[in-house]
Structure 1
Amino acid sequence: MLMLFSAIACSVAVSVLLKLARSHNLQIAQSILVNYAVASALTLLLLKPNLAVLAEPSIHWLLLISLGILLPSVFLIMAKAVAHAGIALSDAAQRLSLFIPLLMAFLIFAEPLNMSKFAGIALALAALMGLIYRPTKSARKNTKQAAWVLIGVWLGYGVIDVTFKQLAKTGAAFSASLLASFVLSGCLLLLWLLVRKTKWHPASLAAGIILGLLNFGNIYAYIRAHQTFPENPTLVFTAMNIGVICMGALIGVALFKEKLHRVNVLGIALAVAAIVLLIPY
C-alpha cells in the first residue's frame, strides 16, 4: 500500500507545485523542460529500458512524436488549469479523462459497451459539467478561461491515454517508449523555448528538478503498486484515481482555500462514481 499511497501523493504534489509556481513567479515551461530531463535520467536508471528496440523498423515513431508534442502541451494546460480553476477541479478533470479511451474504443473500434460502462460514461459527462460550472453571477473574470482549461485537461490527458494504448498495441516496450516520449518532449519544448528567445530563470530550472522527481515518482510508484498487487489491478486503478481526486480536493480546500460551489462538489462526487463504474475488469 506504500507504493500506492506514494503514487497518489506524487500526483497531487505535482499539482501543488504547479499551484505554487504562479505565486513564486516561476516560468513553468522551463520547469517542465528540466522535468523531462530528470524523468529521462530516472527512467534509464530505474526502469532500465532496452534501447535497442527503438532502432527496430516496427517502432511507431509517429505515435512517439505525437506524445512528444502532447505531453508538454497538456502539462502546460494543466498548469493553467491549476492556476485558474484550482487543484481540486483540475485533478478531478485529469482523472475523468480515463473515459475518453473507453468512448473511442466504442465509437471507433466497435468494442461492446455494457450497461456499467454506458452509465459510467454518462456520469463522467455529468461530472465534467459539474466541474466546469460557475455561478452566472460570479465576479471572477477568468470564469470562461477556467472552464476551457479544465476541458483542455480532460481532453488532453484522454488523447494521451489513447496514444499510449495505441503504442502498446504495436508491441512497443513500455519503458523504452516512455523514455523516447520524455526525450522527444524535452527536445521539442527546448526548441520552442529557443525560438521564443526565452530568458532562462534559475529558480524555474531548479523547480524543474523537483517537478521531475515528483512526475517520475508518480509513474514509478504506480508501476510498483501494480507489481505489488498483480492479482488485483482493479484495486490499484480505483484507489489511484479516486485517491487523487479526494486528496486533491482536500488539499485545495484546506491549504489553498479554494472555494467550491455545491455543483462543483457534486461534480467531484459524480467523478468518483463514474470511476467506480468504469473499472476495467
Structure 2
Amino acid sequence: MIYLLLSVLASSLIFVIFKLFQRFEVNTMQAIVINYFIACLVGFFGFIKETDISLIPTKLWFPGTLILGALFILVFNLAAITTQRSGLSVVAVATKMSVAIPVIFGVVLYNESTGVLKVTGIILALIAVYLSSIKTREGIAIKTKNLIFPLLVFLGSGIIDTLIKYLETTYVAKDDVALFSTTIFAIAGTIGISILAVQATMGKLRITGKNILGGIILGIPNYFSIYFLVLALRSEGFESSTVFTINNVAIVLVSTLLGIVLFKEHLLRKNWIGIILAIISILLVANSLNF
C-alpha cells in the first residue's frame, strides 16, 4: 500500500507543477522533454547499480519500452491539442477515465476478481473522476470535429497503463524495475529531442532558463510516479484493477484538494460530490480485497 500512496503523491505533485507552468508561462513541450532526461538520470544514478547499458536492448521488455516512450510523447501532444481545442477539463476526464482500459484488461486477461463491492467502487470512481474534473456549470462541450483528440488521449493513456502492467507481469524481473522505468524515460526524452531539433531547424525553438528549471523540477516526481506504480503493481494481494482504480481516483482527489489549498481554487457543487464519491469508491475497492 505504501508504494501506491507514494505513486499517488508523486503524480499529484506533477499536477501542481503543471499548474505552476501555466502561472510562470513555462514552455510545456520543452519542460516535458527535459523532464524525461532528468527522470532518466534520477533512476540511473539513484537506483541502478553496476548495469551494463549495452545489454539493455537484449532485455525482453526493451521493445515494450520503445512503444511506451513513443506513447508518452504522442499522448502528451494529443493532450496539448485537446486542451487548446476543448479545454483542460476534457483532458482531465479523458486521461483519468482511461483507467477503464487497464481494469478491463486485468479482469479479462488475468481473471481478476469482480465482486459487487469492487465493481460498485470502480463505477463510482469513474463518476467521481468526471464530476471532480468539470470546472464549469455547463459541463463538457466538445465540437464533433474535435472529438477524435480526447478519444485518442483516452485510448493512449489506457494503453500506457495496460502495457506497463503487461510488461511488468510478463518480462520485468524484480531487479529490473528501476532500469525498466529509466529506459522508458530515456526513450521518451530521445524522441522529444528529435521533435525539438525539427522545431529548431524551423526557427521555432527558443530555450530559456525557466523552461530548463521547469523540466528539472518535473522530472523528479515524474520518475517516482512510474517507479512506485510498478512496485505497487508487484505488491502481493493487490490486483492491477484495484491498483489502477485507487491510483487514478486518488490522484484526482489529492490534486483537487491541493488546488484548493495551494491555488485557492473554488469548487462547484458537482466537484464536491465528486470528491465524496472518490472517497467512497476508494473505500469500496480497498475493502473488496478482504472479501
**Normalising by structure 2, what TM-score?**
0.71
Q: Assess if the C-alpha contact under 8 Å between 2:253 and 2:278 holds in 1.
A: no
Q: Partner residue of 1:184?
A: 187
1:43-94, CA deviations, whole angstroms, 9 ceiling, x for partnerless residues? Answer: 1112216446523263451x222211222344456678899547xx94x875
Matched, 1:272 2:274: no
Q: Assess if the C-alpha contact under 8 Å between 2:38 and 2:216 holds in 1.
A: yes
Alignment of 1:243-258 (within 5 A): 244-258=251-265
Q: Assess if the C-alpha contact under 8 Å between 1:85 and 1:150 holds in 2.
A: no
Residue among 210, 222, 227 paired with 1:215? 222
Sort the Cα spacing of 1:75 and 1:6 in 2 relative to 1 into closer, same or farther, 3 A: same
1:135-173, CA deviations, whole angstroms, 9 ceiling, x for partnerless residues? Answer: 33x8xxx9649x998877665433211010111233233
1:169-212, CA deviations, whole angstroms, 9 ceiling, x for partnerless residues? Answer: 33233222212211110011111122233222232012111111
**Paired letter, 2:168:** A
Alignment of 1:1-281 (within 5 A): 7-48=7-48, 50=51, 51=53, 54-56=56-58, 58-61=60-63, 63-75=64-76, 84-85=87-88, 90=92, 97-106=98-107, 113-131=114-132, 133=134, 134-136=136-138, 144=142, 155-172=155-172, 173-197=176-200, 198-219=205-226, 244-279=251-286, 281=289
Q: Which runs of 5+ in 1 are unaligned?
A: none
- Aligned residues between the structures: 270
Q: Which runs of 5+ in 2 are unaligned?
A: none
Q: Assess if the C-alpha contact under 8 Å between 2:73 and 2:188 holds in 1.
A: yes
- 2:131 aligns to what SS in structure 1? helix
**Paired letter, 2:190:** C
Sort the Cα spacing of 1:18 and 1:82 in 2 relative to 1 into closer, same or farther, 3 A: farther
Per the TM alignment, residue 96 of structure 1 is displaced from its structure 2 partner at its CA by: 5.5
How far apart, in 1, do the equivalents of 2:246 and 2:126 lie? 21
Sort the Cα spacing of 1:243 and 1:57 in 2 relative to 1 into closer, same or farther, 3 A: closer
Q: Assess if the C-alpha contact under 8 Å between 1:53 and 1:59 holds in 2.
A: no
- 1:58 aligns to what SS in structure 2? coil
Sort the Cα spacing of 1:216 and 1:55 in 2 relative to 1 into closer, same or farther, 3 A: closer
Sort the Cα spacing of 1:209 and 1:32 in 2 relative to 1 into closer, same or farther, 3 A: same
Sort the Cα spacing of 1:216 and 1:73 in 2 relative to 1 into closer, same or farther, 3 A: same
1:95-134, CA deviations, whole angstroms, 9 ceiling, x for partnerless residues? Answer: 6544431123345666553323322332233234424554
Q: Assess if the C-alpha contact under 8 Å between 2:10 and 2:224 holds in 1.
A: yes
Q: Assess if the C-alpha contact under 8 Å between 1:93 and 1:128 holds in 2.
A: no
What percentage of aligned pairs have identical amino acids? 26
**Paired letter, 1:263:** K
Sort the Cα spacing of 1:31 and 1:110 in 2 relative to 1 into closer, same or farther, 3 A: same
How far apart, in 1, do the equivalents of 2:131 and 2:168 lie? 33
